[in-house]
Amino acid sequence: MHDQTETIDASITHQDLTTLKPKGDYYAAVDLGSNSFHLVVVHVVDGNVQIVSKVKQKVRLAAGLDELNNLDDLAMERGWQCLTTFADRLKNIPIENVKIVATATLRLAQNAHEFVVKAETILNSKLHIISGEEEAIEIYRGVAYTSTTTGNTLVIDIGGASTEVIIGRDMQPLHVHSFNMGCVTYMQQYFVDGHLTESNFLHAINMAKAEILPHSHAFKCFDWHQALGASGTPQAITDILIQQGIRDEIKLNYLHQLKAQCIAAAHIDKLNVEGLVESRRIIFPSGLAILIALFESLTINTMNIAGGALREGIIYGMLDNQPLTDRRTQTLNACISKYHIDKQQAIAVTQTAIALFKQIYQALTIPSFDGENMLYAASMLHEIGLHIEFKQQHLHGAYILQHIDLPGYTKLQKQCIAELVKYHRGDIQEEAFYDYPDEVRDNLLPLLKVLRLAVILNIKRTQDKAITNIAEIQIDGSELEPSWILRIKKSWLAENKLVATELANETWLMHKAKQTLTLVPF
């Protein structure tokens, strides 16, 4: 044993160790928010941005503002202690790759200079106090790089002392405004001593509406296609809905249900909402009141969660001169590499699935969560479970997708992608998609049918480019009972006996699932 150890050690030379340098560069963003301080560190390799560290501390800086907008000593000390921790993490990152920003509370604080001088000494870096408009632009950049935006997009970020609302398209913010309202300041102003009453909620909502309404038309006139919530209160509400088994986007009726639960608790100390994390409990009612006011004032129907916000905007701002790949492409490529997915087979199945989808999408009502992109992701990742074993690969795949991050996709989209992978082969269980709202479930099933057919048509793994030209789907019958017809070239089917057998079996599996699929060779 001793000789073996010596042999191993001897094989490692001094040169080997000194050349083991990490590939790529590290960047860090620090966000001194009114409620929490955040640090995010990323590693950039070949245009791919990978988050390697996140630190968040509840500092509640805004709670230290007095009636003259001076920060008290206790709040500043909490902030400095937090920054001492951050400084340790930033030591090995080049100073030019670090950006530190402060937002609403330090914009308001009359004695902000006192805090900033010591903070810059602790961090050994310049601290930038950014305006509300600058903050909104950075938030939108973070959202645009980490989420897929469709047409005009409304973005909302409820902070501790301010709320940023942005309309943007693609990578460009079109209209921004920073509102003087936040979950920490509203908690102090309208829920005095922690009392949760109908009157307190009404007062907070009405005061928020008074802030919003003079600017509402400027946002409404853009006729946005989707609304995204960036972190904070929308994230907390999404977590609550998921924990309570509600697989849906944020809607106004859910917000009013949560308001009723808050009022039923009567006091913040007794607030116990399933899925609400303890760290957010104190400021949840005030953030909820602001979000209700935004939904009602801007006529928001549904909202999803964005993939990033201010910190990500700061990071991507530093990377503006670097070539960066699309966030969803990064995600799919990373999964393909990590889980050893056969990329050529994934592409073949995806091309078939998208070709079939384009034949039927006009017959479907695809909701705002974007069916084509979910089908694309599920097709590319449908074999992710093979990383574990073959027989139950679909179940393993669903489990993996439920428990990993999929940057660029909302939580609802991630759940749907996992469900499509779960049922892409084998029996379709009667309870499939049962816990989704009707409009989501009604569109997941057609996506699943398309995916299953694409997998079967490519089962021989030959990457036959002609497959997309040999089959077409028709949907007949009523909207409530659509009848699916797969027309397929007889000559091709005769040459592919395995596919013919699997398609015949698929018609039986669809029948068992109370669905229709008829094969019509031509």
Q: Given the structure tokens 């191993």, which residue do they identify?
A: 8
pTM above 0.85, yes or no: no
Give me Rg for the CA atoms of the chain: 26
* CATH of region 327-521, choose from 1.10.10.350, 3.30.930.10, 3.40.605.10, 1.10.3210.10: 1.10.3210.10
Q: What is the mean pLDDT of residues 181-209?
A: 96
pLDDT digits (tens, 9 = 90+) for 348-385: 999 999 999 988 877 666 555 578 889 999 999 999 99
**With the CA atoms of 203, 204, 209 and 210 taken in that order, what torsion angle do they form, in degrees rounded to the nearest 10?**
70
Per domain, the residue ranges of the chain are 25-130, 135-308, 327-521
Percent pLDDT > 90 in the chain is 69
Q: Which residue has the higher pLDDT, 298 or 481?
A: 298
CB of 28 closer than 8 Å to CB of 93: yes
Binning pLDDT at 50, 70 and 90, where does residue 6 land? very low
The answer regarding whether domain 135-308 maps to CATH 3.30.413.10 reads: no
What number is the average pLDDT over the span 430-444?
A: 81
Q: What is the CATH number of domain 25-130?
A: 3.30.420.40
Measured distance CA(101)–CA(79) in Å, rounded: 13
CB atoms within 10 A of CB 80: 15
Q: Do domains 135-308 and 327-521 have the same CATH topology?
A: no
Q: Can you tell me the distance from the alpha carbon of 245 to that of 247, in angstroms, rounded to the nearest whole number?
A: 6
Statement: residue 15 has pLDDT above 50: no
Which H or E element spans position 518?
strand 517-521
Q: What is the pLDDT of residue 8?
A: 36
The pLDDT of 249-273, averaged and rounded, is 96
